[in-house]
Each structure stands twice: as structure tokens, then as C-alpha cells.
Amino acid sequence: MAIPRDTLELQRRRDALAQEVTELHWDLGGLAYEMAIRDHFRLDVLVRRAAALQERDAELAEVERLLRMEGDGVAGACPSCGSPHSRGALYCWQCGTTLMERLPSSATGEPDGSTAVMEELFARQAAPAHDSAASSDD
């Protein structure tokens, strides 16, 4: 059985990202070590490097998740930036584009979302509280 081309591309991307994340870990650790031995920390530099590592690590996690889901054929691509996304994703993890339109539920009875059942439950809860308040006033 041949491996689909999309799966091969994801595997290549995963391998490249894993290598890049490993190198970024080493670089960040080495940078922190060098700053420590010189007793001169530049927090802005550390934060920038850590942010780059975090970004690549998030991308790697998403690609790994997509590869796990690939067997079910549930992956897609963002129409805006082309980044892969999993089934059911509401927003693109890379650019934030909305992937699914959220429609109001047909289960609500009224446009504002309230239902007769909920109103009745609230009325029942309010009635005993009102009765006890009235009896304490006497």
C-alpha cells in the first residue's frame, strides 16, 4: 500500500520541524548558559528566542496531530494561509481565520436564546424564595 503524497509531505514537515525545535532548544539553553557565566542576562533576547521556539513547537504539535488523524482522512487546509488544520477546528492555529461558520442553534425557542422550559425553571426557583421572604416580613 502506497503512502499518500499529503502524508509524506506532513512527515517531511514533521521531521524538519523536529530538527528545528531540537536546535532551538539547544540554542536557547546555550544562550542562557553563556549569559549566566558572564553574569549578564538579556531578558529581551531570551524571550525572543523562547517565543520562536514556542511557535515552532506549536507547529510541530499540530503537524503531529494531523499525522495521527491522517488515517481517518479528517485534515484540511486553511483557505487563507494554507496551514493544515484538524477536523472541527473553528479557527486556523496559524493566522486565526475562521474555518467554520457558527450558526444559531435551532433548539432555542426565541431569537434571544431563551426557552419556555428555562423560564419555567427560573419561575419555580424564584417562587419559593419569594414566599419565604413574604412570611419573614409578617
- For residues 87 and 72, give the distance between their C-alpha atoms in angstroms, rounded to a whole number: 10
Strand, helix or coil for residue 71: coil
pLDDT tens, residue by residue, 32-75: 999 999 999 999 999 999 999 999 999 999 999 888 876 555 55
Q: What is the pTM of this model?
A: 0.50
What are the extents of the domains in the chain? 5-85, 106-138
Nearest to 94 by CA among 6, 13, 12: 13
Strand, helix or coil for residue 76: strand
Q: What are phi and psi of 92, to 5 degrees?
A: -70, 130
- Residue 84 contacts residue 62 (beta carbons within 8 Å): yes
- Mean pLDDT along residues 121-128: 68
pLDDT tens, residue by residue, 89-124: 778 888 988 887 766 655 554 555 556 666 766 677
Inform me whether the pLDDT recorded for 28 exceeds 60: yes
pLDDT tens, residue by residue, 7-21: 888 899 999 999 999
Neighbour-count burial of 3, counting CB atoms closer than 10 A to its CB (0-12 exposed, 13-18 middle, 19+ buried) = exposed
The one-character DSSP state at 18 is H
**HSE, side-chain direction, 13 A CA sphere, residue 103:** 3
How is residue 48 written as a grid cell? 525572543
